Amino acid sequence: MSQYQNQDMYAYDDSVVDGPRTSGMAITSLVLSLVGIIPCLGLLTAAIGALLGLIGLVTISPPRKGKGLAAAGLLLGVVFLGAQAYGGKLLWDFVYRFVEVMETGPRDALNDGFAGNYAAFRGAFHGPGASATNDEAQAFIDALRSRYGEFISSQFPQSGPGNMQPAPGQASLPVPYVLTFENAEVQCEAEIIFADPAQQQAVFINKLGYILVKDPDLGDLRFPAQTAGPAPTDADSDSDADADGDGSSGGA
């Protein structure tokens, strides 16, 4: 047997043994699209994965395999890209609204109140302020007007709002403001409620909880007014009754 014949015995065809190979582009498309589930980072990878999947569907042809992987990469990339974009929009809307509410504080609510639109004034609040009556809102606005004149503007103090970092699980922040009226400038504290702790899921609100005008000379004004203490329990009523009974039966 010659040397060349011996070599022919061990020769083989790669295409027969390995078969058609899967396109690396299709595999990369699927992997990048799956990474698209990761917040923020996934926005870029999902877009690239969808693009590679689309290119793969157009360019992959026999003997190459991978059109199915390319189609899956394209589909998942589009889905995760849409989810990332929608989530990003929700986050941006919340941040923009939160910053807007923080900067303006009670300004818009007071503008509505001084214009006589008490329903809109109450609508800027969440909780007791929203459920207060128009008469209560009017009484607060009338008290401000009688003391300080017409409302002009609201802004942060010159020292700034301070270092306001909510604790984990905290759903509101008290923020200092300076209210400028026709006849005076007064210090004010407004509670900004940015989430509803009563809800099992995060419900972004970005509304006012209360407005507290601080006046050491004439007294503070607050809307909504402080609620009364908790109603007496049955045990408290019984103890009061016993005390009355002891006093009335002392001479018996």
Rounded Cα gap, residues 74 and 25, in angstroms: 11
Average pLDDT across the chain, whole number = 77
The pLDDT, as a whole number, for residue 226 is: 74
Range from 16-20, 80-84, 110-114 carrying the lowest mean pLDDT? 16-20
The pLDDT, as a whole number, for residue 45 is: 86
Q: Is the predicted pLDDT of residue 98 greater than 50, yes or no? A: yes
CATH 3.10.450 fits 105-223, yes or no: yes
User: What is the per-residue DSSP string for 66-104?
Assistant: -HHHHHHHHHHHHHHHHHHHHHHHHHHHHHHHHHHHHHH
Q: What is the mean pLDDT of residues 208-227?
A: 91
Residue-wise pLDDT tens digits, 106-150: 999 999 999 999 999 999 998 899 999 999 999 999 999 999 999
Q: Is the predicted pLDDT of residue 232 greater than 80, yes or no? A: no
Highest mean pLDDT among 47-61, 80-94, 112-126: 112-126
Structure confidence at residue 80 as a pLDDT band (50, 70, 90): confident
Query: Cβ neighbours of residue 64 under 8 Å, at least 6 residues apart?
Result: 20, 21, 22, 23
Tokens of 147: 């003391």
Structure confidence at residue 200 as a pLDDT band (50, 70, 90): very low
Rounded Cα gap, residues 56 and 60, in angstroms: 5
The pLDDT, as a whole number, for residue 165 is: 57
The pLDDT, as a whole number, for residue 35 is: 84
Tokens of 12: 């083989």
Kindly list the distances between the CA atom of residue 139 and the CA atoms of 33, 202, 223, in Å, as whole numbers in the listed order. 59, 34, 10
Domain ranges in the chain are 3-100, 105-223
- Under DSSP, the state recorded for 51 is H
Q: What is the mean pLDDT of residues 14-36?
A: 75
Rounded Cα gap, residues 108 and 125, in angstroms: 11
Dihedral of alpha carbons 229, 230, 231, 234, sign: negative
Kindly list the distances between the CA atom of residue 241 and the CA atoms of 23, 50, 88, 232, in Å, as whole numbers in the listed order. 87, 76, 61, 12
What is the Cα Rg of the chain in Å?
Answer: 35
Q: Strand runs (DSSP E) across 135-220, as ranges?
A: 151-155, 172-181, 185-195, 204-214
Dihedral of alpha carbons 15, 17, 23, 24, sign: negative
- Under DSSP, the state recorded for 115 is T
Rounded Cα gap, residues 187 and 154, in angstroms: 10
Query: Cβ neighbours of residue 251 under 8 Å, at least 6 residues apart?
Result: none
The pLDDT, as a whole number, for residue 235 is: 43
Rounded Cα gap, residues 87 and 47, in angstroms: 15
Q: Please give the distance of CA 165 from its chain centroid, rounded to a whole number.
A: 15
Neighbours of 231 (CB within 10 A): 7
- Is residue 37 within 8 A of residue 82, CB to CB? The reply is no
Range from 79-83, 100-104, 203-207, 227-231 carrying the lowest mean pLDDT? 227-231
